[in-house]
Amino acid sequence: MYGYLTGFHKSEARLEASRKIAQHFGASEFIIFIPDPQLDILLPGQGFPQTLNHGEDWQPFLKICLREYHSDFLFFENNEVKTPVCGIPCGEDSVAVLIGGRPAESVLTELVPLLPLLGALLKKEQEVLFSESHAGIAVKAAYKSNLLASTLDSARQALHRSLMREEGGRKDVLELMNRKDEFMDMASHELKTPMTTMKLYIQLIEEKLNGTADKTLLKFIHKAEYQVDKLVTLVNDLLDIRKIQNGKLVFNFSWFSLSELFESAADLVASSKGSHRLNILNKNDKQIYGDRLRLEQVLINFITNAIKYSPGKENIVLELSGDDHHMKLQVTDSGIGIPAEELPFVFERFFRVNEVVREFQGMGLGLYISAEIIRQHGGTIGAESQVNIGSAFWFTLPLEPAASSGS
């Protein structure tokens, strides 16, 4: 029996040695079960057959064997038939089991004293394995966390660098924008006074020349006046933009007839631009509560655009309509139109349709300012357009109940 024991110190030789012990006692298998520290059940030790079905029968059987010699009939591996088994306690919470035979306890006397030795051996072996595997896991985990830490650290550094860059860039952009705004403010104000003076002088000269027969000089003066008017509009637009940005666009609200404003604005434009025919469809003469000058500005912007962007297409329709709640004003031309993909942006600041940039003068500010004016009146603004067919720009204004009742 002692001879068999030498085969147990290595798990590879263990199967061979255990089968010899089994045969010695007329059984087919000899297995030592030891407690699994993680599962808290008894399982075959290293090197023994590991297949053990029907745990629900085996575990209670092994539990009894922990205390005393015990025999039973149990399934082993894939056997269809139950096999005779007997178990003997071997200390260290382990059990030795003979499968395929049930020798009486008395027959096992030469084996029993050796069992605590085998139990202790397997238990020690399992502890070593267990701590080795734990140590392995710990080493791997340390390696992984090291890797993770350095990845995190380089990500943190990259983020820090890019934040610093972005912060620096943002500061530069903000400073440039501030400087641009300051320049715009200064330039607009500086230009405004001399231009008003120029305009006054031009008007004075115009009056003086009107009485004379010098038509050529008068023509030059008209041209000069036209250019000064353009500059005045541009400077006023720039000043308006700054006011919108600072929330300082001031409105003087009063009751007035939009229909009158509509006709006078049309007359004003028609007299200065003889190239187009303005067809007026005035279907609404209700009073509106708004800023007369600002609404005139929107209307004139619509009409001058309609003229500017429809060269050679002389018909422009101005229509004032409405219902009990709103007034709608629309300017329709048969001009170059706007591509569908650019139409949604026409009310944005500095936006100009790609096609027009080289051919037509402009800054892309008028519609942006118009949209802000209409928004401040609680109205809506919009446009429909088709390339080479024409465009319709419109705004609606809400009618106050007092206004709709005609007061």
User: Is the CB of 15 or the CB of 270 nearer to ligand ADP?
Assistant: 270
User: Is the CB of 126 or the CB of 305 nearer to ligand ADP?
Assistant: 305
Distance CA 351, CA 373 (A): 17
Least spacing, CB of residue 377 vs ligand ADP, in Å: 18
Give the tokens for residue 348.
């944005």
CA-wise closest residue to 351 among 340, 360, 339, 364: 364
User: Is the CB of 89 or the CB of 366 nearer to ligand ADP?
Assistant: 366
Helical pair 215-245 and 366-376, crossing angle rounded to 10 deg: 60
Task: Count other C-beta atoms under 10 Å from residue 262's C-beta.
Answer: 22
Sort strands 390-398 and 380-386 into parallel, antiparallel or unpaired.
antiparallel
Least spacing, CB of residue 356 vs ligand ADP, in Å: 4
Least spacing, CB of residue 150 vs ligand ADP, in Å: 54
Q: Are 330 and 303 in contact (CB under 8 A)?
A: no
User: Is the CB of 154 or the CB of 386 nearer to ligand ADP?
Assistant: 386
The vertex-403 CA angle with 398 and 407, nearest 5°, equals 175
Stretch that binds ligand ADP, among 52-60, 64-72, 290-298, 350-358 (CB under 6 A): 350-358
User: Is the CB of 290 or the CB of 337 nearer to ligand ADP?
Assistant: 337
Stretch that binds ligand ADP, among 81-89, 106-114, 271-279, 299-307 (CB under 6 A): 299-307
Least spacing, CB of residue 170 vs ligand ADP, in Å: 29
- What DSSP state is assigned to residue 276? S
User: Is the CB of 118 or the CB of 338 nearer to ligand ADP?
Assistant: 338
Q: Which residue is nearest to ligand ADP (CB)?
A: 362
Q: Are 398 and 378 in contact (CB under 8 A)?
A: yes
Of 391, 395, 397, 399, the one binding ligand ADP by CB under 6 A: 391
Least spacing, CB of residue 201 vs ligand ADP, in Å: 27
Residue 185 buriedness (CB in 10 A; 0-12 / 13-18 / 19+)? middle
User: Is the CB of 232 or the CB of 363 nearer to ligand ADP?
Assistant: 363
Residues of span 226-245 touching ligand ADP by CB under 6 A: none
User: Is the CB of 33 or the CB of 393 nearer to ligand ADP?
Assistant: 393
Q: Are 332 and 319 in contact (CB under 8 A)?
A: yes
x-marked contacts with ligand ADP along 301-340 as a string, rule CB under 6 A = x---xx--x-----------------------x-xxxx--
Strand partners, 182: none
CA distances to 18, 24, 27, 330 from 107, rounded to whole Å, are 17, 11, 13, 115
Of 5, 218, 268, 363, the one binding ligand ADP by CB under 6 A: 363
Residue 363 buriedness (CB in 10 A; 0-12 / 13-18 / 19+)? middle
Least spacing, CB of residue 262 vs ligand ADP, in Å: 17
Of 98, 353, 371, 399, the one binding ligand ADP by CB under 6 A: 353
Q: Which residues lie closer than 8 Å to 66 by C-beta, 6 or more apart?
A: 42, 89, 93, 95
- Residues binding ligand ADP (CB under 6 A): 301, 305-306, 309, 333, 335-338, 346, 351-353, 356, 362-368, 391
